[in-house]
Structure 1
Amino acid sequence: MPALKRHTAERLTRILDAAREIIRETGDTGFTMKDVAVRAKVAPTTVFNLLGSKDGLFYALLSRLLDDLFIGVRRYVSPDPLEHVIEATDFVVDAFLSDPIVFRELFLVFLGTRDELHRPWFLHRSLSFWRHSVEVAATSKAVPPESVESDVLPRTLMLGFIGSFYTWVHGDLDDEGFRTQALYASALTVLGASKKSNQSRLLNRLSEISRQLPRQHTFLRHLTPGSQRGSRSDRATRLHGASESPGTVQGPSKAAATTPRKGVKRPARR
């Protein structure tokens, strides 16, 4: 590698290491680019020149962290191709739990922003990960090959995992709850796509996982108005009002609908 490229790569590594250390120590992404530059012992302009923006920094760090994940999952242990999905799920959960503070904070940024530059790249890599987990199953026809070729099965696996992951990122699932919920979603998805001859084996696997599922989630407390004084659901009930029946969204009151807000003129009737 030419000296200039090597020097640039070394500075980039120091910058990303510095950002990761700051997130891990503070549990926050509210630092400045100058904070990173000081920790990395580079000029602030160097950080901007190499990464463009703070979002660019976050995505570069996330990309580096995910590189190990995508490389490591290439090696499956089980001879059963349907188990590869379970292994892949277990592997990716282990990866996120290996540095939970950093991953949670990065994904709180990622999941909370619309980014046409970086998000498509991430989703493409994520879909490739799940596609790889079912390639052997498709080749051996343990699942319909067309479900993989059309990306229906990989996409469903990806979206099922994102649900558990999103809940964990926001702190409503603990680490083991995240693992078992993600494994259950993956096993259930593969069960739905598999041949009948494989379904009894998958049902047994699903039963094993279901026994480890959390019986109570933190976020379930927030779904029952007044179940916990001062809880988010309690505050939401005061703000929005309780529905007359479960699943019914109560509209604005008649008074609210007919009384104009201050500063808003009601159009004259014709």
Structure 2
Amino acid sequence: MGTDGGGGLREQHKAQRRERILDATRDLLRDGTEATISTERIAERAGVSPATVYNLIGPREKVWEALAGGFVDRLEAELAVLDADDPREVVRATVRLFTGDPVVSRRMVRGWEESGLVFDRSPLGQLRRAMADVRARGVLRADVDADALAFAVGTSCVGALHQWVAGLIDDGRFLERALFGLDVVLAAAAADAHRERLLEPLRTRGTA
């Protein structure tokens, strides 16, 4: 029992130091004074050694992966609180997380592109479950593939994300375009009884 307790405490300390390292990385990104953030700078800001950064996170390329993992952790926690089974809430929550910390989000996405990083877990998983739930409730046709619909929505949202990261659209337009992509997919897959209701957002919003 004592050994297990000691091991648990060690893991807790490791988790705390790891989060301190990620917090330091976010702070450095917000400072925006360096194009490339070195392991040494992260270690200095976190108050740990560079070896600790390497051991707990990995080489610098892994920092982006760790930041992305933390992002998805926060998304999943928010959706769990919301008990989100509505694809619109999944899209809204995802956009809110990106726009809530814009400097870090933009740098994270650029770093993720440059390193070829893909989320091990992604908002797409939450969206798939929400789309399947909408289909199960009879809002969408029973013959549609919920996973394919979620992928189509995700592709549209990623396009809007990259426009936002590039500064081509503001926060409001980012959300608008992400929801527009969702509304197009929902309207196309709507069951007869729900088609008019799901078409209404497209009629009122237009394609701007």
User: Structure 2-normalised TM-score?
Assistant: 0.87
User: Identity percentage over the alignment?
Assistant: 24
Matched-pair contact (CA < 8 Å) for 2:57–2:63: yes
How far apart, in 1, do the equivalents of 2:87 and 2:187 lie? 11
Which residue in the other structure is 1:134 paired with? 131
Which residue type is aligned with residue 176 of structure 2? T
Q: CA deviation at 1:90?
A: 1.6
Structure 1 residues 86 and 179 mapped into 2: Cα distance closer, same or farther (>3 Å)?
A: same
Moved over 4 A (4+): none
Distance 1:187 1:111, change over 3 A: same
The structural deviation recorded for 1:114 is 2.5
Answer 1 or 2: higher relative contact order, Cα 8 Å, separation at least 6.
2
The one-letter code sitting in structure 2 at the alignment partner of 1:13 is E
Q: Report how far residue 210 of structure 1 moved.
A: 3.3
For residues 33 and 95 of structure 2, the distance between their equivalents in structure 1, rounded to whole angstroms, comes to 20
Letter of the structure 2 residue corresponding to residue 46 of structure 1: T
Pick closer, same or farther for the CA change 1:39–1:165 going to 2, 3 Å.
same
Deviation track 1:153-205 (CA, whole Å, cap 9, x = no partner) reads: 11111111111111111111111111111111111111111112212111212
Q: 8 Å contact 1:143–1:193 — kept in the other structure?
A: yes
Q: What aligned pairs does 1:136-175 form with structure 2 within 5 A after superposition?
A: 136-148=133-145, 151-175=147-171
Higher radius of gyration, 1 or 2: 1
Listed one character per residue, the Cα deviations across residues 182-237 of structure 1 (whole Å, up to 9, x for unaligned) are 111111111111112212111212233338x4xxxxxxxxxxxxxxxxxxxxxxxx
Please report how far the alpha carbon of residue 147 of structure 1 lies from its aligned counterpart in structure 2 after TM superposition: 3.1
Aligned amino acid, residue 69 of structure 2: S
Higher mean Cα deviation, 6-15 or 202-211?
202-211
Following superposition, the deviation at residue 29 of structure 1 comes to: 5.2
1:4 maps to a residue whose letter is R
Mapping of 1:44-193 within 5 angstroms?
44-74=50-80, 75=82, 84-115=86-117, 119=118, 121-122=120-121, 125-148=122-145, 151-193=147-189
2:153–2:185 Cα contact (<8 Å) kept: yes
> Per the alignment, do residues 38 and 120 of structure 1 end up closer, same or farther by CA in structure 2, a change over 3 Å counting?
closer
Deviates more, 1:200-209 or 1:54-63: 200-209
Cα distance in 2 for partners of 1:27, 1:69 equals 28
The size of the alignment, in residue pairs, is 201
Which runs of 5 or more residues in structure 2 are unaligned?
none
Letter in 1 for 2:10: L
Cα-to-partner distance string for 1:80-129 (whole Å, 9 max, x where unaligned): x7xx22222122111111101100110011123324xxx2614xx23202
Which of 189, 195, 199 matches 2:191?
195
SS of the equivalent of 1:104 reads helix
CA contact (8 A) 2:94 2:123 kept: no
Deviation at 1:44?
0.6
**1:32 and 2:38 are equivalent in the alignment:** yes
154-163 or 128-137, which deviates more: 128-137
3-state SS of 2:120 partner: helix
Amino acid aligned to 1:86: R
Shift of 1:146: 4.8
Matching residue within 6, 20, 28 for 2:12: 6
**Structure 1 residues 9 and 120: CA distance shift in structure 2, 3 A:** closer
Contact between 2:91 and 2:179, CA under 8 Å: does it hold in 1?
yes
Alpha carbons 1:156, 1:189 under 8 Å: kept: yes
Q: Quote the Cα distance in structure 2 between the aligned partners of 1:28 and 1:209.
A: 41
